[in-house]
């Protein structure tokens, strides 16, 4: 029952985020979406020979589950928006990013040691693509950066009900990179 309630909560949050992004006239800050790589912490810089092919603002939740008295990360659920604030993709467990425009997708895994801790927010990360699908925006993506994070931390302290889930709002800038040609 808890699992179903958690999935409903995540789905509701994702629908709410998507509705907010699609119905909103407030676009993400262009400076955030256009920020140059020079401002990126050295720990999460792209490897030489890669170039950013897309930047999207993500708004959603990080979901945690109670495991052995501690909150453990379960999954993200976020909507990706372009610089005009239009909803263009979804981010979910895997982690996976899927374009709602062209159906392409990328699944990635964190690169060991490639993280930048941020006060009051989930860390910035460098992730390496494991698989891609389709011929659209995520085709050929080799790395994903999670940057400019806000929120998304697990609740402070422990938990008492095994399997209980909770979600916290977060935002981030995701950049998608491919080998330079």
Phi/psi for 24 (5° steps) reads -85, 140
pLDDT value for 34: 53
For residue 112, give every residue at least 6 positions away whose Cβ sits within 8 Å of its Cβ, in sequence order, or none.
none
Q: 41 to each of 121, 134, 147, how far by Cα in Å?
A: 15, 31, 9
Q: Which residues of the chain have pLDDT under 70?
A: 1-38
Nearest to 169 by CA among 31, 23, 28, 64: 64
- Short-list 99, 66, 63, 104, CA closest to 81: 99
Q: Which residues of 105-120 are buried (b: 16+ CB within 10 A; e: fewer)?
A: bbbbeebeebbbebee
Length of the chain (residues): 181
Of the candidates 64, 144, 57, 59, which has an alpha carbon nearest to the alpha carbon of residue 96?
A: 144
Residue 159 in contact with residue 66, Cβ under 8 Å? yes
Classify the C-alpha dihedral 18-23-24-27 as positive or negative. Answer: positive
pLDDT, residue 102, reads: 97
Radius of gyration in angstroms for the set of CA atoms belonging to the chain, rounded to a whole number: 16
pLDDT, position 146: 98
pLDDT of residue 88: 98
pLDDT of residue 2: 38
What pLDDT, on a 0 to 100 scale, did the predictor assign at position 181? 80
**Amino acid 44: pLDDT:** 97
- Per-residue pLDDT tens for 13-58? 333 333 333 333 334 444 445 544 448 999 999 999 999 999 999 9
The reported pTM is 0.81
**pLDDT score at 10:** 37
């Amino acid at each position: 029952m808890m699992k179903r309630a958690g999935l409903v909560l995540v789905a509701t949050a994702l629908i709410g985020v998507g509705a907010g992004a699609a119905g909103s006239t407030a676009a993400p800050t262009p400076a955030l979406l256009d920020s140059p790589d020079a401002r990126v912490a050295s720990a999460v810089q792209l490897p030489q020979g890669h170039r950013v092919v897309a930047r999207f603002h993500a708004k959603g939740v990080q979901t945690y589950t109670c495991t052995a008295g501690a909150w453990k990360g379960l999954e993200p659920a976020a909507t990706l928006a372009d610089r005009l604030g239009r909803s263009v993709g979804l981010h979910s467990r895997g982690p996976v990013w899927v374009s709602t425009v062209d159906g392409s997708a990328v699944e990635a895994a964190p690169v060991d040691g490639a993280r930048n801790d941020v006060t009051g927010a989930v860390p910035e990360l460098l992730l390496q693509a494991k698989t891609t699908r389709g011929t659209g925006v995520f085709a050929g993506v080799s790395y994903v950066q999670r940057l400019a994070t806000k929120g998304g931390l697990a609740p402070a302290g422990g938990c008492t009900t095994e399997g209980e889930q909770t979600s916290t709002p977060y935002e981030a800038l995701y950049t998608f990179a491919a080998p330079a040609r």
